[in-house]
Structure 1
Amino acid sequence: MSSVQQLIQNAEPHWRAYIEHDFVLRLADGTLDKRCFQHYLKQDYRYLFHYNRALALALFKAENFAQMEQAHHAIQTILQESKLHVTFCQRWGIAETELLQTPESAACVAYTRYVLDCGINGSLVDLYAAIAPCALGYAEIARHIVERQLSPPGNPYQDWIDTYASDDFQLATAELTDFLDQLCQELTAKQRTKVQTIFNTATRMEVAFWQMGLDLS
């Protein structure tokens, strides 16, 4: 079992609550309230901003050029994704000005500042343990929806599902998995315990982010 697989396994029951959250299930079958999805989209835009700030810390904390290249590539990807996110939001009736003016939810503040704190005060592996649940979980969620054929014809959220089930996103997630596995190879038992705690906490934050969408909070 790889280090990342162990992180996921040891994150239970939080991991299951994350990938099988009511928000996800309703999105999969198309019954999610439009207002909930719009609220999620606006907060996700704010999340992406801070996610990229965290990746900038990964660039700073890199110990070699290969690690710098990994962070640089991720930063470029998120910058492009943020532009696509604006276009996607427009299709859901959310103007860019509204995205910029929307206050951050408590769930978004808690999650993003926790990730940044891990990056500022911790090691490179601590930072990647904090950001990994997002990509890993989204990839698993979308893959399961497609493989189990949970999405009905005409699902208004099909574009979201297709984005994270795409070969490009699945490949990027696999590369992140390999990179985090490499970072975990030389960890001591004490360091592994810390990394697991960070991964668990970030997973709990993902659960809270879905709940924020449902609650319109």
Structure 2
Amino acid sequence: MSFTKELRRENEDVFQAIFDHPFVQGLGEGELPKEAVAHYVKADYEYLNTFLTLYGTAISQSDSREDITFFHNQIAFVLGDEIHPHRNLSDYAGTPYENLQGYPMPPTADHYRAHMKSVATEGLLGKTIAAMLPCPWTYDEIGKELKRRFSPEPDHPFYEWIEFYADDSIAETTGYMMKRLDEEAERASPEDRRKMKEAFRKSCQLELAFWEMSYSLEEWPAGKETAR
């Protein structure tokens, strides 16, 4: 069994909890509180800014032009393409996308950012990929699951969001990162493989927590959010 198949089997509980979360189910059903959707976009915009820098870190840890090209293209993808599902959510929330940018991250999103950056500073590409992979992997499966289960038509409020993440381009991103993680794990020490598993598991847990953070409108215990 490949390393990534082990990871998927060991984290089935978290994946299933993500599929069952009321925010994710609401995306499929086409009905969510608008304030929760806006809260998600605010946090995810900043989260993706961190993801951009992590792709840059992955480039610095890469030895092959193939990897460098892949991570470079992913930066372009986030900047140029991943704004489309955000705009779909912003339209639903009734707020211009530009008005949902520049807010401080809620505690869970901030924790997720700190976790990935901490793993990436260890300097091993395999660990960096392990911490990043749950994001595209869970969204790939969410998109396909929602499309299969709800069969949304173009008039569905979240049709564009579901179609975007059910698209093969997300699966291709996930597939490449899985392949590279399998290769890195193959030559890693047992201790580094253990750390990769820990990083992956924590990121999966934080993906689930991100959905809950959005649905519950999580904020810091004191102080109001203010856009920069």
Percent identical among aligned pairs is: 26
Offset at residue 181 of structure 1 (A)? 2.1
1:61 matches 2:61:
yes
In 2, the alpha carbon distance for the partners of 1:133 and 1:148 equals: 22
Corresponding residue number in structure 2 for 1:163: 164
Closer, same or farther in 2 for the Cα pair 1:188/1:63, shift >3 Å?
Answer: same
Residues 140-198 of structure 1: CA deviation (Å, up to 9, x unaligned)? 11111222336478431121111101122222222222222222221232221111110
Distance in 2, matches of 1:156 and 1:64, equals 42
In structure 2, runs of 5+ residues without a counterpart are: 219-228
CA distance in 2, matches of 1:42, 1:54: 19
Q: Counterparts of 1:25 and 1:87 in 2: how far apart (Å)?
A: 19
Separation in 2, partners of 1:187, 1:197 = 14
Matching residue's letter, 1:54: L
Q: Which residue of 1 aligns with 2:109?
A: 108
Q: Which residue of 2 aligns with 1:174?
A: 175
Report the structure, 1 or 2, having the larger helix content. Answer: 1
CA 1:180–1:19: 2 relative to 1, 3 Å: farther
Normalising to structure 1: TM-score of the pair?
0.89
Report the Cα offset of residue 83 of structure 1: 4.5
The worse-fitting range, judged by mean Cα deviation, of 11-20 and 104-113 is 11-20
Tell me how far apart the structure 2 counterparts of residues 82 and 144 of structure 1 sit (CA, whole Å): 19
Distance change (3 Å), C-alpha of 1:86 and 1:152: closer
Q: CA RMSD in A?
A: 2.1
- What per-residue deviation string (whole Å, max 9, x for no partner) do you get for residues 39-98 of structure 1? 111211111100111111101111232222222122221221354466445534333542
Q: Deviations over 1:90-114 (max 9, x none)?
A: 5343335423332211111111121
Q: Which residue of 1 aligns with 2:6?
A: 6
Show structure 1 runs of 4+ deviating over 6 A.
none
Match of 2:199 in 1: 198
| Aligned partner letter, 1:71 | F
The match for 1:30 is: 30
d(CA) in 1 for partners of 2:109, 2:36: 15
- Give the Cα–Cα distance (whole angstroms) in 2 for the partners of residues 82 and 142 of structure 1: 14
2:78 aligned partner: 78
Taking structure 2 as the reference length, what is the TM-score of the superposition?
Answer: 0.85
On the 8 A contact 1:30/1:152 being kept in 2, the answer is no
Supply the distance in 1 between the matched residues of 2:117 and 2:213 (Cα, whole angstroms): 20
Match in the other structure for 1:47: 47
The answer on whether the counterparts of 1:115 and 1:127 sit within 8 Å (CA) in structure 2 is: yes
| Contact 1:139-1:164 within 8 A present in 2 as well | yes
Q: Deviations over 1:16-61 (max 9, x none)?
A: 2223322111211123222211211121111110011111110111
SS of alignment partner, residue 19 of structure 1: helix
